[in-house]
């Protein structure tokens, strides 16, 4: 590889696509690069030939993006216009993976340009990632070389306050979410702040907010994220006496949760939250919601845990839902600013 900025990763990036469809429905597809637009336009004929009934008449939607009019792929019924039930991506199927927009080719691999060089990793916000980053196949080296060499695919993020401490905290062997909360609250491990009531109240507010948002963004009915949330809500409504109890994440998956949180901090995904403590509180909430839901019935369903955790991460990155969390106030004194 040509001499370039320093590149760091927490481990070999691994991923395997399990066709959850969350990436093609939960996110806006863009902003597109000028050559993404050219490639997609060139692929239209192959897609039309292979899938004559696919509605791709207006494949691009112009939107304001940081003050500039920018192209995104059009979404229909919550999904990218190129998504097809049973097939997946029709560009991928009819023209090949390399013809998709760069952002689609990369997901969930991310390159973050930081003041300390480039960081490379797999985001835990893929619904198929319950094991993928541990034991999935390594991402192809030639592909990594190509995306590392193309600065247009980098996300630029500056250093949030407290990043070094958060990374150290998440590297402590055997640390659990109670200890993380205790650290954020400035108490000791034996007396972590009780956040069950806070979680329950926030959850009720988020449920109301989902209803107001309706069929937008990650919550559009029929998408993988909406399916997970619908199942979660049904389970939550049936909890009866257990309502308000969000036990610690089951021990066998704590290392996995810790690894996911570390990846999120390393890739500066915390930048999507007001402060690092807020992001850690959100991640702990996501882990506890997902763990309690996936353990219903007595034993842990690992696949449910992965899908639940990823879904809650996606939900908590939604600006509107995040505002609900932030405006409601911190779970304990000091957690908003540490
Ligand atoms: S172009 Fe293909 S991979 Fe990209 S969002 Fe659309 S359906 Fe998914």
Q: How far is the CA of 188 from the centre of ligand 1 (A)?
A: 47
What's the gap in Å between 164 CA and the centre of ligand 1? 35
Quick one: which of 78, 57, 40 has its CA closest to 222? 78
C-alpha closest to that of 112 among 80, 66, 172, 160: 160
- Nearest atom, ligand 1, residue 27 CA: 5
- CA 88, CA 20: separation in Å to the nearest integer? 9
Q: Residue 156's beta-bridge partner residues?
A: 113
Mutational test site, ligand 1, from 30, 91, 223, max ligand atoms within 8 Å of CB: 91
- Quick check: CB of 22 below 6 Å from ligand 1? no
pLDDT tens, 44-97? 999 999 999 999 999 999 998 888 899 999 998 888 999 998 899 999 999 999
DSSP code per residue over 134-176: HHSPBPPHHHHHHHHT-GGGPEE-PPPTTHHHHHHHHHSTT--
Report strand pairing: 75-76 vs 7-9. unpaired
Closest ligand 1 atom number to CA of residue 81:
6
pLDDT tens digits along 110-138: 999 999 899 999 988 888 767 777 778 89
> What are the tokens at 60?
């691009």
Q: What's the pTM value of the predicted model, to 2 decimals?
A: 0.89
- Of 320 and 281, the one with more pLDDT: 281
25 C-alpha to center of ligand 1: Å?
9
Q: Is 100 in the pocket of ligand 1 (CB under 6 A)?
A: yes
| Phi then psi dihedrals of residue 112, to 5 deg | -115, 125
Contact 181, 192 (CB under 8 A): yes
R_g of the chain, CA atoms, integer Å: 20
Looking at residue 187, its pLDDT comes to: 86
Angle subtended at Cα 153 by Cα 67 and Cα 138, rounded to the nearest 5 degrees: 150
Q: Name, in order, each residue with C-beta under 8 angstroms of 327's C-beta and a sequence gap of 6 or more.
A: none
Query: Is residue 80 in contact with ligand 1, taking CB distance under 6 Å?
Result: yes
Ligand 1 proximity of 267 Cβ (cutoff 6 Å): no
- pLDDT category at 337 given cuts 50, 70, 90 is very low
In the predicted model, what is the mean pLDDT of residues 301-308? 91
The CB of 325 under 6 Å from ligand 1? The reply is no
Question: Do residues 120 and 2 touch, judged by C-beta distance below 8 A?
Answer: no
Residues 53-64 have pLDDT tens digits of: 999 999 999 998
Residue 104 in contact with ligand 1 by CB distance below 6 A: yes
The model's pLDDT over 18-28, given as tens digits with 9 standing for 90+, comes to 888 888 987 88
The residue whose CA is least distant from atom 4 of ligand 1 is 104
Residue whose token pair is 């996110």: 27
- What local confidence, expressed as pLDDT, does residue 136 receive? 82
Contact by Cβ (8 Å): 185, 334: yes
Specify the DSSP element, H or E, that contains 110.
Answer: strand 109-114
For residue 24, the tally of other CB atoms under 10 A from its CB is 24
């Amino acid at each position: 590889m040509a001499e370039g900025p320093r590149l760091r990763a927490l481990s070999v990036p691994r991923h395997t696509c399990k066709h959850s469809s969350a990436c093609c429905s939960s996110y806006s597809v863009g902003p597109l690069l000028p050559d993404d637009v050219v490639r997609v336009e060139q692929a239209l004929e192959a897609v039309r030939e292979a899938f004559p009934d696919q509605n791709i008449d207006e494949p691009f939607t112009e939107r304001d993006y940081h003050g500039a009019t920018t192209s995104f792929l059009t979404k229909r019924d919550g999904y990218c216009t190129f998504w097809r039930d049973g097939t997946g991506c029709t560009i991928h199927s009819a023209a090949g993976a390399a013809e998709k927009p760069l952002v689609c080719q990369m997901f969930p691999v991310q390159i973050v340009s930081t003041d300390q060089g480039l960081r490379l990793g797999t985001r835990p916000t893929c619904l198929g990632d319950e094991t993928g980053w541990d034991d999935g196949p390594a991402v192809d080296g030639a592909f990594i070389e190509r995306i590392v060499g193309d600065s247009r695919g980098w996300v630029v993020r500056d250093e949030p306050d407290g990043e070094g401490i958060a990374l150290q905290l998440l590297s402590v062997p055997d640390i659990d979410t109670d200890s993380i909360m205790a650290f954020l609250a400035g108490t000791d491990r034996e007396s972590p702040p009780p956040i069950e009531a806070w979680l329950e109240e926030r959850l009720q507010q988020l449920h109301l907010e989902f209803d107001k948002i309706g069929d937008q963004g990650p919550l559009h009915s029929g998408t993988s994220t909406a399916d997970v949330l619908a199942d979660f809500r049904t389970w939550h409504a049936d909890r009866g006496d257990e309502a308000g109890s969000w036990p610690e994440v089951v021990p066998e998956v704590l290392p996995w949760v810790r690894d996911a949180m570390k990846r999120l901090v390393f890739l500066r995904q915390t930048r999507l939250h007001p402060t690092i403590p807020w992001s850690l509180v959100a991640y702990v909430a996501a882990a506890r919601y997902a763990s309690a839901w996936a353990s219903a019935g007595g034993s842990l369903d690992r696949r449910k845990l992965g899908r639940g955790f990823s879904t809650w991460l996606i939900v908590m990155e939604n600006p509107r839902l995040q505002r609900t969390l932030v405006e409601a106030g911190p779970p304990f004194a000091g957690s908003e600013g540490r």
